[in-house]
């Protein structure tokens, strides 16, 4: 059975939880609180020198980090990742978009708003995060006009990855009502079999 080192309130960790639930694949969850130093202990750094969760551990001890790499590995050969090379390329395109143009703004704004004190210096970053995050949501909204899911006609791990921090973007001050195609897509993701909610 695989083990997942993760923090349940983290969207990046939730991606892995959601996919494992949808795959109905048994797993052991090792709650690891990155907000309180648990990814910076010598024991954890020996497993992932980059000091981040989620981290997947196979039963033979092999380790894999990076949420979207974990999703690709677990979904390979299942309906959640198409076999066609062009569709797979587009899945990766949206997953790299998520990690470069979306998560650093939308997830970081959520982190600052939910977990840092009101007088914290990083709140000065919020206007820039709001601007860049809105750009990402606008790109998504335009792409989803007339489409059911991000790639092809089926739900895939591209949707899983983008759902994780989009559905809770309001936590970081984003108004999702401005993105109707995104809102309709969020509802379609939430209607997937064996969907589970983010714990927060």
The b-or-e profile of 139-158 (16+ CB within 10 A means b, else e) is ebbebbeeeebbbbeebbbb
Q: Which is nearer to a copy of itself, 64 or 134 (CB)?
A: 64
Give the residue with the Cβ less far from a copy of itself, 87 or 183.
Answer: 87
Shortest Å distance, C-beta 58 to a copy of itself = 9
- Is 28 within 8 Å of 37 (Cβ atoms)? no
Q: How far is the CB of 88 from a copy of itself (least distance, A)?
A: 8
Q: How near is the Cβ of 148 to a copy of itself at its closest, in Å?
A: 18
Cis status of the peptide bond prior to 119, with omega within 30 of 0: no
Sites of contact with a copy of itself (CB under 8 A): 49-50, 52, 62, 64-70, 72-73, 76, 85-86, 88-90, 92-93, 95-97, 99-101, 103-104, 138-139, 142-143
d(CA 97, CA 11): 15
Task: Kindly tell me which of 62 and 193 has the beta carbon lying closer to a copy of itself.
Answer: 62
**For residues 144 and 94, what is the distance between their CA atoms, to the nearest angstrom?**
12
When the beta carbons of 45 and 196 are compared against a copy of itself, the nearer one is 45
How many CB atoms are located within 10 Å of the residue 191 CB?
Answer: 9
Phi and psi at residue 30, to the nearest 5°? -110, 100
Q: Which one, 70 or 169, has the nearer CB to a copy of itself?
A: 70
We find the least distance from the C-beta atom of residue 52 to a copy of itself, in angstroms, to be 8
Scan for tokens 């006609």, then name that residue.
153
Q: How far apart are CA 83 and CA 120, in angstroms?
A: 46
Give the nearest distance from C-beta 87 to a copy of itself in angstroms: 11
């Amino acid at each position: 059975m695989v083990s997942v080192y993760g923090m349940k309130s983290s969207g990046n960790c939730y991606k892995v939880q959601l996919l494992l639930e949808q795959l109905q694949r048994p797993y052991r969850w090792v709650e690891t609180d990155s907000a309180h130093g648990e990814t910076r202990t010598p024991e954890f750094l020996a497993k992932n020198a980059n000091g981040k969760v989620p981290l997947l551990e196979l039963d033979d001890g092999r380790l894999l980090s990076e949420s979207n790499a974990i999703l690709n590995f677990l979904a390979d050969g299942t309906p959640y990742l198409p076999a066609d090379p062009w569709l797979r390329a587009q899945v990766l395109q949206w997953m790299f978009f998520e990690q470069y143009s979306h998560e650093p703004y939308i997830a970081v704004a959520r982190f600052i708003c939910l977990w840092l004190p009101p007088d914290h210096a990083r709140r000065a970053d919020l206007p820039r995060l709001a601007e860049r995050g809105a750009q990402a949501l606008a790109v998504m909204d335009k792409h989803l006009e007339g489409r059911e899911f991000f790639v092809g006609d089926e739900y895939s791990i591209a949707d899983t990855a983008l759902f994780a921090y989009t559905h809770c973007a309001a936590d970081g001050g984003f108004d999702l009502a401005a993105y109707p195609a995104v809102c309709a897509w969020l509802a379609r993701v939430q209607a997937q079999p064996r969907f589970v909610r983010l714990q927060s």
